[in-house]
Amino acid sequence: MLRRLSRKGSSGTKNVLGKFLDFIESPIWALPVATFIEHRSVVFDRQQGDPSLYENIHKEFRELVDTLVECFCADSNIAVERLREELKSTKAENLTVRQKVR
CATH of the structural domain 7-91, one choice from 1.10.540.10, 3.40.109.10, 1.20.1520.10, 3.40.50.2000: 1.20.1520.10
pTM recorded for the entire structure: 0.73
Of 65, 76, 81, 79, nearest to 32 by C-alpha is 65
List, for residues 3-54, the tens digit of each pLDDT value: 444 444 444 556 888 899 999 999 999 999 999 999 998 887 766 678 888 8
Amino acid at 18: G
Residue 2 has pLDDT above 90, yes or no: no
Nearest-angstrom CA–CA distance, 76 and 9: 12
DSSP symbol at 4: G
3-state helix, strand, coil in the chain (%, to 5): 75, 0, 25
Within 10 angstroms of residue 83's Cβ, the number of other Cβ atoms is 19
